[in-house]
Structure 1
Amino acid sequence: MPDSDNEPQALKEVLEGLALSQRPQRTEGAETGDDAPHAFWDTQPVPHAGEDLTTIDVSQMGPIDPADMDAVRKEPYNLPPSFEWSDVDLGDAAQAKELYTLLHENYVEDGDQMFRFDYSVPFLKWALQPPGSLIEWMVLIKEITRRVNRRGLFQATYTAGVVLPKPVAKCRYWHRSLNPKKLIEFKIAPQISLAEFKHWMLTQTGVIYSYVVEDPVSKELTDMVSFYALPSSILGNDKHKTLCAAYAYYYYHTATPLAQLMNDALVLAKRLDFDVFNALDILQNETFLKELKFGIGDGNLQYYLYNWRAPFVQPRDVGLVLL
């Protein structure tokens, strides 16, 4: 246990360690700047290093590579001997557990080896099985690109904590401690259907939590706030095995001030025994982060568009939360 004089700094270091574990570290080489070469991404239809996205106007927005179904490879990419492609069926309990174990033992870990994401099976089903999802899409980049292209889709969006060619937005995580004692120890937005809204927003215990505010007189729903659960395994700690983190998701407000709505979300998350509440500086989040005593992280989360050229946008213009 650190002494009381060092507790704020110790807490900050723990939270920043958790933030760094959000995404894997780059392994292509030592260079990490915007202009560094990228053996894989320099071959892909994405804006390349050195391209100034701030100068792009509406007339220049659009696909980088035109859609050409005839040019899409019909056969899967080759794998090393003794390996073969296998589609993961999350409806099969054994396969779902197999995927969970793979991620639990090998996925994102921070540089200090303190935390590793612990995606539960229900969370994986929530994240990977929205309406319209296909079992064949749970594979790696080149092969999933080929499979998606075969379905006539040629654009995508993704995020990473590392700098790749070329971010369309850079956002930052902020962290609000809910259990300090344990811790020390809209230019880009989705358009979703009703079915997708139900999938993403209806509460599933241990996965996603959504709350609404009802006007006591009219009985109309005036406000909504949601957050999802993504715990991390705590490595090398005999007392605590899991850090329970809540992540701000989507919200709307017409009657309740946003800071009050998010403060209520913090209270609700605390009642559910979460240890920390994380939020990006997207949407209108900057208006409440400091007021509600969130601490700023030291890394950025880059947003990328695959095969689509668009101007750079500020975090306040980003309305898309990717899991």
Structure 2
Amino acid sequence: MGEEPPSEDGCIEPTKAIEDVRREPYPLPKDFEWSILDIDDPKQIKEVYDLLSLNYVEDDDAAFRFQYSAEFLEWALKPPGYFKEWHLGVRVSSNKKLVAFISGVPTTLRVRGNVFRASEINFLCVHKKLRSKRLAPVLIKEVTRQVHLQGIAQAIYTAGLVLPTPVSTCRYYHRSLNIPKLVDVKFTYVPRNMTLARMIRVYKTDTTPHLPGLREMEEKDIPQVADLFAQYMQRFNMAPIMTVGEIRHLFLSGRGNVEKPCEKYRRPKQVLWAYVVEEHRITDFFSFYSLPSTIINHPRHNLLEAAYLFYYASNVAFEPGVDESNKLKTRLVDLIGDALIIANQANFDVFNAVTLMDNVSFMDDLKFGAGDGLLNFYLYNWRTAPLAGVNAIGDVGAGRGVGVVML
């Protein structure tokens, strides 16, 4: 903290040779043991689900807690080329109860002009009753060791906490959909100058999407979507570089039970919604994912159905002078406007987005409101000057520094 921004990007420490990486796992406190979780085993994925749903991220008032489904975890933790050793748990030695977890998945990142392999670290969770045991630092050291064993020396992760030192900070924004429920569970409030009935009218969405050629993404679309994604990501200072296989996994594997008809824009066990706009060829796509929260201690509601904006792209971005002409902003208002309509029809209560990519350009038009949550982005073992997130930096507009959406 407080250091001058680095004059040039690069590693902080040189990459370790694999033979120099520690061979044995780091020691745990007495009575605990390491466990590599098999995400293909329904019993073990349920253990991770149970641990996260009772002990993972809560808001400051302890009213809402993320509830990751088993389907979500499979989608998030098994991209092409994943390493099962990066799904690390800690168990109580005596009864084998899972009490802590951390995960990593491989990714390829471009930060400004540099491209490198990295691990995306997520789902760090320790049982509430064991927070004094200092398990989190050991989990982080052990997953770092496992990542080094694959010859990878960098990582990306996010946290609500401010640690030394974020490369970017973004803010959560919320677009209310189910106003009566959101007010009832105190997720939002009726402003002083408004009634509940008027607020419902203001936030009402249409019942059917507007864009001609909009349809659900299919297998045949993946090569075009991959090209569009790669080109669009060039707009941002930090972005993932994905293979066609990774794109296929990301946008098709979380669609739920595809044999069943999609009723009211939702299938059983669906965690990811991906749509394309096709006019002779694919010109745009958008996606969002489902991450509900448990509503703690409410007499009527126990689940907040939240959709989160994921990746999108439009070929309007490749036209000359597009940032000056507002054409991209207009297109994104239409595109994400249709995403809101689909999310509302699929019975989501709220649609969340973070100030990254081009999101800032359409948030006001689509009636997103600023939340009080901040998301800090961190790079492990990589030095770079700050990236534009909630605020513009130099000539890079707000959000345009970050093109990575973390689950």
Same fold (TM over 0.5): yes
Equivalent position of 2:239 in the other structure: 189
Equivalent position of 1:166 in the other structure: 165
- SS of 2:14's equivalent in the other structure is coil
Residues 40-99 of structure 1, C-alpha deviations (whole Å, 9 max, x = no match): xxxxxxxxx22122xx23xx3111111122432111000122211111001111111111
Q: Extract structure 1 runs of 4+ deviating beyond 4 A.
A: none
Equivalent position of 2:333 in the other structure: 259
Relative to the length of structure 1, the TM-score reads: 0.81
The CA distance in 1 between the partners of 2:378 and 2:152, in whole Å, is 16
Equivalent position of 2:201 in the other structure: none
The CA distance in 2 between the partners of 1:180 and 1:141, in whole Å, is 40
- SS of 1:312's equivalent in the other structure is coil
Equivalent position of 1:31 in the other structure: none
The number of residue pairs the alignment matches comes to 268
* Cα shift at 1:133: 0.9
Equivalent position of 2:79 in the other structure: 130
Residues 246-290 of structure 1, C-alpha deviations (whole Å, 9 max, x = no match): 001010113581100000000000010000000111111111000
The AA in structure 1 aligned to 2:344 is K
The correspondence for 2:248, drawn from 171, 186, 198, is 198
After superposition, residues 27-66 of structure 1 pair within 5 angstroms as 49-53=1-5, 56-57=6-7, 60-66=8-14
The CA distance in 2 between the partners of 1:254 and 1:68, in whole Å, is 41
After superposition, residues 272-283 of structure 1 pair within 5 angstroms as 272-283=346-357
After superposition, residues 224-243 of structure 1 pair within 5 angstroms as 224-243=285-304
Amino-acid identity (%): 50
Equivalent position of 1:311 in the other structure: 385
Gaps of 5+ in 1: 1-48
Residues 207-261 of structure 1, C-alpha deviations (whole Å, 9 max, x = no match): 111001111xx2x111100001100000011211100000010101135811000
The AA in structure 2 aligned to 1:147 is Q
The CA distance in 2 between the partners of 1:177 and 1:97, in whole Å, is 31
The CA distance in 2 between the partners of 1:63 and 1:175, in whole Å, is 36
Equivalent position of 1:96 in the other structure: 45
Larger strand proportion of the pair: 2
- SS of 2:169's equivalent in the other structure is strand
| CA root-mean-square deviation | 1.2
Equivalent position of 1:209 in the other structure: 273
Relative to the length of structure 2, the TM-score reads: 0.64
Residues 103-136 of structure 1, C-alpha deviations (whole Å, 9 max, x = no match): 1111111221110100000000111111111111
The correspondence for 2:34, drawn from 62, 79, 85, is 85
Equivalent position of 1:5 in the other structure: none
